[in-house]
Amino acid sequence: PESSAATVAVTMTKTGALSVRSAPVSWNELEPALAREVKRFPDSPVVLRVDQSVPYREVARLLAAAKGAGAARIAFGTQPLE
C-alpha cells in the first residue's frame, strides 16, 4: 500500500459523469475501480463528491458501490458556505 494520507475521491457531476481519483469510469467499472483503490489505500476514507442536483437514488447507488468495494470509511465531500 502507498501513503495512508491519500483520499479515495469518487466524483459524480450533475450530468452523471463518474470518476475515481480523477479517472473517468462507467457505472459498470465503478465498483472494481473503487475496490482497487481501497486495497491500495486501506487506511484512507472514500470521499463521495456529488453535485447537489444529483438525485438521492444515485447517491444511494454510489454508497452501495463504495460498501461493495470494501470501503471501511465513507464520507461526503462538501463545499464551505459562502
**Within the chain, which residues score under 50 in pLDDT?**
1-4
Burial of residue 75 (CB within 10 Å: 0-12, 13-18, 19+) is middle
34 close to 69: Cβ distance less than 8 angstroms: yes
Residue 59's contacts (CB-CB under 8 Å, 6 or more residues apart) are 12, 48, 50
What is the pLDDT at residue 81?
A: 55
* The pLDDT value given to residue 6: 80
Helix (H, G, I), strand (E, B) or coil at 81: coil
Backbone conformation region of residue 51, classed left if phi is above 0, alpha if psi is from -120 to 50, else beta: beta
Cα 76 vs. chain centroid, distance in angstroms? Answer: 9
pLDDT at 3: 47
pLDDT for residue 31: 97
